[in-house]
Amino acid sequence: MLVARGLRRLEVAARRALHGFVFPRSAASGMALPGTAARFHDYDAAVTSCIERRALREGRQVHARMIKARYRPPVYLATRLVIMYIGCDALEDARNVLDGMPERSVVSWTAMISGYSQTRRRVEALELFIQMLRTGCKPNEFTLATVLTSCCGPEGIHQVKQVHSLAVKTNFESHMFVGSSLLDMYAKSENIQEAHRVFDMLPERDVVSCTAIIYGYARQGLDQEALDLFRKLYSEGMQCNYVTFTALVTALSGLASLDCGKQVHGLILRKELPFFVVLQNSLIDMYSKCGKLLYSRRVFDNMPEKSVISWNAMLMGYARHGLGNEVIRLFKDLREEVKPDSVTLLAVLSGCSHGGLVDEGLDIFDIILKEQSAFLNPGHYGCVIDLLGRSGRLEKALNLIENMPFLPTPAIWGSLLGACRVHANVHVGELVAQKLLDMEPENAGNYVILSNIYAAAGMWKDVFKVRKLMLEKTLSKEPAQSWIILDKVIHTFHSSERFHPSKKDIDAKIKEIYVDIKASGFVPDLSCVLHDVDEEQKERMLLGHSEKLAITFGLMNTPPGFIIRVIKNLRICVDCHNFAKFVSKVYRREISLRDKNRFHLLRDGGCTCGHYW
DNA sequence: AACAATGCTA
């Protein structure tokens, strides 16, 4: 029985994955309606049949027949009606039946709460749950597991804690379904310690709880921890299904570890799982974030069925790598297969921006404005402002911000400020910076860019003013770090790294490189240093940047001709970008640099970003 | 009646 249920769940999941959550409905009516003299068993059989076939129209007829015959269904049968309506996505009808019930069972309440939960109507789910408690009905393990999935709004953590305490009182805390849901919700509200504590308390570790905790780490960006935990649980014999692998692959996208990614992909292939769109989508994304677009494309091309997300993941991959023409080509193919959504449009605009296809991007934006403007959100405008900024049309960008149907977000102003830096426009830059500093006075990055703009214009007095402002506010930015993966070992570097075991060798090598590239024309960009120190010290500080250390380490530890893949957690600094360009030329090495936003592929002194990022 | 679930830009 249990096994059969498990298999059905799997099948349901597979169908959902394949058909994008749309269940096939029964086509023709094949059921005789209960007659006027019908009794409980006749109605029960009819409603059950409708539940199984998700036959809404017939269900309504049965319900109407009951009313017409003045038949008052007992709690059980009325509950079945609620379940029937929910299964047919007719939530309002279900609610009407529930509200009309003189008595309700735990099952009736829970079914309705579950209906709201599954359709993301969280507020209604929680309100109904509270109403249920007020009437004195005691929740059971089904209710708690269900209602928890609705505790993920902004107030989520408080709600989770309340339901948690209720679970403790009712002794369901360690119930597998309740516990899994609980740990997942803690993880979703960024409370991974508590999530792990709940996980450790569960009587056993099943696929769902293991997957939820691994996903929890991956979602927080604790990718290394997610991978380590998977390794541990896997060696302890944990069961895996396609959701587990989806979680794992997501963690690997964050780590950008191509070797681990390939290894896990191999493991997945050996498991001979049936086809799941979701898992394949995560593989497309993983390979593109590891810098292997060819593999992404191979996964993409081999999919027997694609969802719009598959296309979007592939588009984003091309966009991240600055391959604008590929984005536009794939977008054309996409429109013949699926309906674009707002993420598709974002990917296309972002692809045009990263690929330097300014006019093409603006044309596409015009078409979108005419045909699908309902899809547009501030993000799309952000991409277009970036596009205008790239081509130096800063006034136009400013104009668009003022006339768009949204309030500008800090990110949008930030994008324009970056453009002002690239095009050395102090006038617009000051204007934009003023808005931005008002909105996020604590964001150190904005001060840095403004001071870069002043520095590029030689306005040293103003540079000093901005620095002073920063010092007064004692702002600190997220510490920069870069990493490189060699032989499946992750080597992480921080600025002015002091603890790496190869520190001495790296220092020696970086000085050697410095001499070589300077001889080829490299000039350090001192405006990248914001500390008020003398020039010699500035040069020394620049050499300590984490991406330079990682590149140097890669150059030392890989054979000639080997591509150096470095990942950075923030945007790459101008001086380091220049450094990498010269290294690629002088040492004849390709360098793939993934920063927070995109890939830079440096080859023979040039970069795929076109020097705008 | 119930737990985990892919893509998101400057």
Per-residue pLDDT reduced to its tens digit, A552-601: 999 999 999 999 999 998 889 889 999 999 999 999 999 999 999 899 99
pLDDT number for residue A476: 66
Structure-token pair, residue A172: 């369901």
Average of pLDDT values for A366-382? 90
**Tokens linked to A466:** 């901005």
Pairwise CA distance, residues A230 & A215, whole Å: 10
DSSP secondary structure of A41-74: HHHHHHHHHHHHHT-HHHHHHHHHHHHHTT----
| pLDDT value of position A23 | 38
In a domain, A511, yes or no: yes
* CA–CA gap between residue A21 and residue A297 (Å, rounded): 25
Write down which residues 481-500 in A have CB closer than 7 A to strand B.
Answer: none
Give the domain range for residue A495.
Answer: 481-607
Asked if strand B contacts A126 at the CB level, meaning under 7 A, the answer is: no
CA-to-C1' distance for A82 and B6, Å? 32
3-state secondary structure of A207: helix
Q: How confident is the model at residue A532 (pLDDT cuts 50, 70, 90)?
A: low
CB of A45 lies under 7 Å from some atom of strand B: no
Separation in Å: B6 C1' and A315 CA? 14
CA A142 to C1' B3, whole Å: 10
Can you read off the two tokens belonging to residue A469? 């402002």
> What nucleotides of chain B have any atom within 7 angstroms of a protein Cβ?
1-10
A313 and A284 Cβ atoms separated by less than 8 Å: yes
Residue A8 clears pLDDT 70, i.e. is over it: no
Verify if strand B has an atom below 7 Å from the CB of A111.
yes
Looking across all nucleic acid strands, the nucleotide with the smallest C1' to CA distance from residue A209 is: B4
A578 C-beta less than 7 Å away from strand B = no
Residues in chain A: 613
Question: Quick check: A31 CB within 7 A of strand B?
Answer: no
**Is A112 (CB) below 7 Å from strand B?**
no
Task: Return d(Cα A581, Cα A562) in angstroms, integer.
Answer: 16
Q: Does nucleic acid strand B have an atom less than 7 angstroms from the CB of A89? A: no
Q: Is residue A534 part of a domain?
A: yes
**pLDDT tens digits, residue range A439-476?**
888 888 888 888 888 887 878 888 888 888 877 777 66
- Residue found by looking up tokens 């450790």 in the block: A200
Interatomic distance A110 CA / B4 C1' (Å) = 20
Proximity of residue A414 CB to strand B below 7 A: yes
Say whether the CB atom of A446 is under 7 angstroms from strand B: no
d(CA A558, CA A566) in angstroms, rounded, equals 13
In a domain, A595, yes or no: yes
Residue whose Cα is closest to the C1' of B2:
A142
Residues 312-341 of A with CB under 7 A from strand B: 312-313, 316, 319-320, 341
Is residue A387 in a domain? no
| Residue A232, in any domain of the structure | no
Within a domain: residue A509?
Answer: yes
- Percent of chain A at pLDDT above 90? 67
Higher pLDDT, residue A243 or A440: A243
pLDDT at A537 over 90: no
Is the C-beta atom of A241 closer than 7 angstroms to strand B? yes
What is the CA angle A31-A36-A37, rounded to 5? 105
> Tokens standing for A357?
């296809």
| pLDDT surpasses 50 at A402 | yes
Instruction: Please check whether strand B approaches the CB of A378 to within 7 Å.
Output: yes
Look at residue A212 in the predicted model and tell me its pLDDT: 95
Residue A498 lies in a domain: yes
Section A155-184 average pLDDT: 93
pLDDT category at A525 given cuts 50, 70, 90 is confident
Mean pLDDT computed over every residue of chain A: 88
The pLDDT of residue A16 is 44
* In a domain? residue A320: no
Tens digits of residue pLDDT in A24-78: 444 445 566 787 777 899 999 999 999 999 999 999 999 999 999 999 999 999 9
Structure tokens given for A219: 């979602």
- Beta carbon of A88 within 7 Å of strand B? no
* Residue A17: pLDDT band with limits 50, 70, 90: very low
Q: Report the range of poorest mean pLDDT among A13-27, A173-187, A193-207.
A: A13-27
Average of per-residue pLDDT across A334-350: 93
SS (H, E, C) A511-546: HHHHHHHHHCCCCCCHHHCCCCCCHHHHHHHHHCCH
- pLDDT (0 to 100) of residue A31: 64
Q: What are residue A593's phi and psi, to 5 degrees?
A: -120, 115
| Joined tokens for residue A69 | 């015959």
Give me the residue label for tokens 């107030």: A155
Domain count along chain A: 1
Average pLDDT over residues A132-138: 95
- Band the pLDDT of A530: cuts 50, 70, 90: low
CA-CA distance, A590 to A566, in Å (whole number)?
Answer: 11
How many angstroms separate the CA atoms of A443 and A433, rounded?
11
The rounded distance, in Å, linking the Cα atoms of A312 and A598 is 16
Nucleotide showing the shortest C1' distance to residue A13 CA: B5
